[in-house]
Chain A
Amino acid sequence: MALLEPASALSVREASFSYGAGTALDAVSLEVQPGRICFLLGPNGAGKTTLFSLICRLLALQGGEIAVAGRPLRANGSNVLAEVGIVFQQSTLDLDLSVRQNLRYFAALRGLRQADADRRIEEELARIGMAERLGERVRALNGGHRRRVEIVRALLCRPRLLLLDEPTVGLDAQTRGALVRFIHAEARERGLAVLWATHLLDEAEPDDDLVVLARGQVAAAGTVRSVLAQAGTDTLDGAFAKLVNQRRQATS
């Protein structure tokens, strides 16, 4: 199989997708390296969720190429998803099952042995501070704890690439801060590559990577620091507003 950028955990080259006549993504390119967090910023309808759906094969790529750990999606099919952990925007846990049952189900879908799965479940839950909630029904957990279980689930298969689609929406500031710190630590310690779609600009650190999407196109890319410099502003909010407006004017 041909490899695309073997060093990249995720390589998106000229990815395009349309819903009928409406273009959702227009030749979008980006790279995420191991150990790095790449924030994907964009207003509603910018194409963030479409890009996530393409990476995890819920939608079929219409143009360009996407490769995970150097393996193109088109050529390798669903096998590539073994390298990917995903936290969707909506909660996807089964509320009537316990934390353990939800995680075991996911582990089985990834072909893990139950003994290995149980060991990893205990380890990961302990890391995120939820070891004692193993037997509880998900319905009894609050939003923050459900999110943590979803992050544990995404990490169970020891992915090289973690996709986070607005994982902190609806969480209080304290829980949000704890999750942001946890993900940064995971990226550093495990060499995990993270693509993180968000509206909440304070989640990024100055050295994180940033891609600003607007109207299905890349409006800016680089580290947070370099994008701020490129936009000529001090704050990410200001840079984001400026870049998105520039893109709107360019495409209207």
Chain B
Amino acid sequence: MTVPQYLRAFIGIQKRELLRFVQQRERFFAALVRPLVWLVVFATGFRAALGVSIIPPYTTYITYDTYIVPGLIGMVQLFNGMQSSLSMVYDREMGSMRVLLTSPMPRWFLLLCKVAAGTTVSILQAYAFLAIAAAFGIRMPALGYLTVLPALILSGLMLGAFGLMLSSWIRQLENFAGVMNFVIFPTFFLSSALYPLWKMLESSRVIHAICVANPFTYAVELIRFSLYLQLNLTAAAIVVAALAVFSLLAVLGYDPRHGLVRRQTV
């Protein structure tokens, strides 16, 4: 296989994911409704009660709804990663996963292409959400909409790889809902998406420690800092490391010599 052939496969997988995304419009709206409910209902209600003091990257006092926008972008990407994971379990049950895995390209490459394609979709959703947030008056620095792109790519890849890893462990579609309850909600709530870490520390040391250990916290912080034209190196390094670990486990999970899929013929 040559480099142009790898590139064609990469583009082909991206195109397919985008075509499916365009044809499943309800998926697009569902992905936006969830964070919008948080932003419009939850954040508006808490806006009066909660204010966030000046913490990096913010240089001034901000309202609660401004604080949670990066967390809600993370939520969009987290749910998209899980949606991709669900569709991979479905594809595996329906057999269409076999078309991907019987390509002459290396399996690790195909799986990472799949994650990259899901990331593209999640970035489109994230920008749509940012546009709606701006319509509600929550605006970021103009250049922030551009500087957040690398952060969205990294966090999207990390959460996509996380979903891929989960899909290699989940044997049946019926088990998916249960797993998601144990994964999505703890991942989201036990992070800095809704509250700053120092507020968590005031309430509970244990919860704070869990939030600090949660890679999703760093995805949210990476997005938050990037929106304000700053690079949080610690967050970037942890997101990259988590991406590497999740990718490795996902590739091993889909390797018939090592993974759980060996017992169920993908």
Contacts and interface: CB of A to CB of B under 8 A. Distances in A.
Interface string A88-129: 111111101100010011111111111000000000000000
Interface in A144-196: none
A93 B8 contact: no
Interface stretch (B10-18, B30-38, B185-193, B243-251): B10-18
Contacts of A82: 1, 104
A78 B95 contact: no
Contacts of A97: 16, 19-20, 23
B16 A110 contact: no
Given A20-B263, A81-B103, A81-B104, A111 B95 contact: no
Contacts of A93: 96
B15 A58 contact: no
B102 A86 contact: yes
Interface residues of A, number: 39
Contacts of B15: 104-105, 108
B107 interface: yes
B200 interface: no
B257 A111 contact: no
Given A49-B265, A91-B95, A109 B256 contact: no
A109 B99 contact: yes
Contacts of A230: none
Contacts of B20: 94, 96-97
Nearest to B101: A58
A109 B95 contact: no
A80 B105 CA distance: 10
A128 to B, nearest CB: 19
Contacts of B262: 59-60
Interface string A72-85: 00000111111010
6 contacts: A57-B101, A58-B265, A78-B104, A92-B96, A109-B105, A111-B4
Given A58-B266, A92-B96, A105-B99, 20 more contacts: A56-B98, A56-B102, A58-B98, A59-B256, A81-B102, A81-B103, A82-B1, A88-B98, A91-B95, A93-B96, A96-B23, A97-B23, A105-B15, A108-B11, A109-B103, A109-B110, A111-B2, A111-B5, A111-B105, A112-B8
